[in-house]
Amino acid sequence: MAGVMDIRDIEAVLPHRYPFLLVDRVDELGDDRIVASKMVTRNEPHFEGHFPGMPVMPGVLIIEALAQAGALYAARLTAFDPRRQVIYFMAIDKAKFRRPVVPGDHLTLVVTPLRKGGAIWKMRGEARVAGQVVAEAEFMASIQNKPASGGGAPAGAAGAPVAGAASVAQPGDDASQSPSDS
């Protein structure tokens, strides 16, 4: 499946909105990977405090951008219905940060599946600037039905959709036993 998604297409799938929607465009969407873009701009609110006089994009937001790209990938390869379902971030593993990302950078998000299909997905993501890897991680996500009330996470899931704060699996945790997200 090849295709490109603009911001309207992305907003139709993900529940995120500015300032937490961290994918601006999808450049490639196939069976084996997604390539998406995030334009890093100085007017993003996190730069006011991270760090004054030396703005650096927080690493957790880079991982969040990778997770959002992964959610778009999973949604396109399944019968995902954003009116009835949500994709929850479950775990992060092997996260590494190689160099700072600063305003003006074009962040390229490349996500490939390690285990795909069904309700639980495992993916690997690389964030690149000018072809150089600046961050990488493996992460898991779960496709769940939205709660009937339209509020919070479904029973058995902790946190919020991929849009929420990152939840990191601790050594010895078995993320495949009960979904948790960020």
Strand ranges across the sheet with 120-129? 25-29, 34-39, 106-115, 120-129, 132-145, 85-97
Active site residue 50: yes
* Stated length of the chain: 182
3-state SS, residue 80: coil
Q: How many other C-beta atoms are found inside a 10 Å radius of the C-beta of residue 20?
A: 15
Task: Give me the catalytic one of 16, 46, 50, 106.
Answer: 50
Check whether the bond before 89 is cis (ω within 30° of 0). Answer: no
Tell me which residues are annotated as active site.
Answer: 50
